[in-house]
Amino acid sequence: MPLMTGEQYIESIRKINMEVYLLGKKVPVPVDDPILRPSLNSVRATYDLAQKPEYEDLMTAIDPESGKKINRFNNIHRSTDDLIKKVKMQRLLGQQTAACFQRCVGMDAFNALWSTTYDIDKKCGTSYFKNFKKFLDYAKENDLTVDGAMTDPKGDRSLAPHQQPDPDMYVHVVERRPDGIVVRGAKAHQTGALNSHEMIVMPTIAMSPEDKDYAVSFVVPLDTKGLFMIIGRQSCDTRKLEGGNIDVGNAEYGGVEALVVFDNVFVPNDRIFLNGETEFAGVLVERFAGYHRQSYGGCKVGVGDVLIGAAALVADYNGAAKASHVKDKLIEMTHLNETLYCCGIACSAEGTPTESGNYIINLLLANVCKQNVTRFPYEIVRLAEDIAGGIMVTAPSEKDLHDPKLGPIVEKYLKGVAGVSTEDRMRVLRLIENLSLGTAAVGYRTESMHGAGSPQAQRIMIARQGNIPAKKELAKKIAGIKK
Ligand code: SF4
Ligand code: FE
């Protein structure tokens, strides 16, 4: 099957009978829901852009096994060039959507599972690689969007999965049958789930032998019996119900997160990728997290480009563009944003082949990348707010702008420089608001902190990979210390 167009993708998601709840109610047709639709549009962009000749090199790849063109989101990285193109593709999509386009979690899960299932089979004589490859071929052939779900609710963080008073705090196997397993639990913060055809589930932490039932990875379609989603609230989300296109800040694109519940879900044997091999849970987590921490050196940079552009525009509209401190703030924003990009490119360029044949990023540099992402977007947002002025949060609504009596007053008093309409000034202010503290702040700010693992998770990896003993030896040698 050729690559899907954006429209074909939307219709393919429409056909999936998902059980979705939002604001206390079941959503009859999620693809048509005004709060949810912008997040679907963000994934649609991964299909639309793949159709454009100018983006073909970044958005698609030739599958070495079938010789067919596939979407890069379904690609297994075979070189550092592939890893670099991945980051460039993500920056491009961040620029085009100013939102989380969600499809990366599947790509990162594919690449983590490719090498991990290979390693498990080699050590344990299992057939997970075969299972995984069969599913991957199906996903490639049908140009599917696949979610990669890792984060469990985790309950009492001081306790291991098997010690939790409520065993459902981590997804686990509740029944083993000859034809498969039955699982129960939940995955939190799932950005892509709602807009995916299939969902890959992985464990969220390293595990000990007592956690056997929790060391489980598998894939299920989103309309599987027993699977349902409760969509998370976002700041300013109900503005999307008001019918306008200014106050929402970004009318076309967005992202939403879901608590995905597995209420005794059956998984057939050939869709299982890990089932009780606890020693590999940590390996899978480390690889998936590494790839996703690389990803943030692309997607967040692309969204940062939009925010920097918005700050520069509002400076123009306010008549402040020539002020030296404004110019310097734009330089600082650019410096921070490009530093994140450097990290994304560096961990890709320093990637290495795994025994299974795909390429993995340099884990130390990928964790440094994400650690910087937990900080720099906050500073970029701070500077954007500084340049924008308080009007980004005190401006009247677009209903006031369009009101026969109030409209001329809003026009008059929110006017900036001559030649720029008040409406355009309001539009860019609302975009900055959206990225800083509206619906997109979930994807640009808080996700920068906690997505792909909270800051401490990267510090643990940096400690592990930093090789302090080797650095001590370097110092000893230079200092002339003999032992
Ligand atoms: Fe992709 Fe970034 Fe969203 Fe992760 S946060 S799914 S890398 S766009
Ligand atoms: Fe993410």
For the chain, the structural domain boundaries read: 290-479
Which residue minimizes the CA distance to atom 6 of ligand 1?
102
Ligand 1 center from residue 90 Cα (angstroms): 8
Catalytic annotation, pick one of 191, 278, 374, 439: 191
Which residue minimizes the CA distance to atom 7 of ligand 1?
295
Ligand 2 center from residue 204 Cα (angstroms): 14
Asked if 292 is an active-site residue, the reply is yes
Ligand 1 center from residue 430 Cα (angstroms): 23
Ligand 1 center from residue 468 Cα (angstroms): 31
Ligand in nearest proximity to the CA of 93:
1
* Closest atom of ligand 1 relative to the 299 alpha carbon: 2
Catalytic annotation, pick one of 296, 317, 341, 444: 296
DSSP collapsed to 3 states, the chain: CCCCCHHHHHHHHHCCCCCEEECCEECCCHHHCCCCHHHHHHHHHHHHHHHCHHHHHHHEEECCCCCCEEEHHHCCCCCHHHHHHHHHHHHHHHHHHCCCCCCHHHHHHHHHHHHHHHHHHHHHCCCHHHHHHHHHHHHHHCCCCEEEECCCCCCCCCCCHHHCCCHHHCCEEEEEECCEEEEEEEEEEECCHHHCCEEEECCCCCCCHHHHHHCEEEEEECCCCCEEEEECCCCCHHHHHCCCCCCCCCCCCCCCCEEEEEEEEEEEHHHEEEECCHHHHHHHHHHHHHHHHHHHHHHHHHHHHHHHHHHHHHHHHHCCCCCHHHHHHHHHHHHHHHHHHHHHHHHHHCCEECCCCCEECCHHHHHHHHHHHCCHHHHHHHHHHHHHCCHHHHCCCHHHHCCCCCHHHHHHHCCCCCCCCHHHHHHHHHHHHHHHHCCHHHHHHHHHHHCCCCHHHHHHHHHHHCCHHHHHHHHHHHHCCCC
Catalytic annotation, pick one of 80, 104, 317, 369: 104
Residues with a beta carbon under 5 angstroms from ion ligand 2: 451
How much is the pLDDT for 483?
Answer: 82
* Closest atom of ligand 1 relative to the 102 alpha carbon: 6
Asked if 124 is an active-site residue, the reply is no
Asked if 369 is an active-site residue, the reply is no
Ligand 1 center from residue 189 Cα (angstroms): 12
Residues contacting ligand 1 via CB (< 6 Å): 90, 100-102, 104-105, 191, 295-296, 299, 447, 451
pTM: 0.98
Which residue minimizes the CA distance to atom 8 of ligand 1?
100
* Closest atom of ligand 1 relative to the 255 alpha carbon: 3
How much is the pLDDT for 2?
Answer: 87
Asked if 236 is an active-site residue, the reply is no
Which residue minimizes the CA distance to atom 2 of ligand 1?
299
Asked if 341 is an active-site residue, the reply is no
Give pLDDT tens digits along the chain (483 positions): 789 999 999 999 999 999 999 999 999 999 999 999 999 999 999 999 999 999 999 999 999 999 999 999 999 999 999 999 999 999 999 999 999 999 999 999 999 999 999 999 999 999 999 999 999 999 999 999 999 999 999 999 999 999 999 999 999 999 999 999 999 999 999 999 999 999 999 999 999 999 999 999 999 999 999 999 999 999 999 999 999 999 999 999 999 999 999 999 999 999 999 999 999 999 999 999 999 999 999 999 999 999 999 999 999 999 999 999 999 999 999 999 999 999 999 999 999 999 999 999 999 999 999 999 999 999 999 999 999 999 999 999 999 999 999 999 999 999 999 999 999 999 999 999 999 999 999 999 999 999 999 999 999 999 999 999 999 999 999 999 998
The yes or no reply on domain 290-479 and CATH 3.10.20.30 is no
Ligand 1 center from residue 101 Cα (angstroms): 6
